Amino acid sequence: MTTTDISTQLRQAMPAAECEHCGAHIMSGLGIATARGSTDGRYCGRRCLRRAVQEAGDE
């Protein structure tokens, strides 16, 4: 089994989510978003998480 096969199986098993800030697709449940700084899987990475926090603070 190749890496591509494994990635395809994971994508099919795990529903994709969208980043709440930029709309990019993130794979929820895999810890990818968590590893990049979003603890709840709502954002695709630190940059979007940081921007969302800044925007919330500006309101």
What confidence tens digit (pLDDT) does each residue in 30-45 have?
545 444 444 466 777 7
Predicted model pTM: 0.46
Of 29, 15, 57, nearest in space to 38 by CA = 29
User: Residue length, the chain?
Assistant: 59
With H, G, I as helix, E, B as strand and everything else as coil, classify residue 55: helix
The C-alpha atoms of residue 56 and residue 31 are separated, in whole angstroms, by 24
Mean pLDDT for all residues in the chain: 69
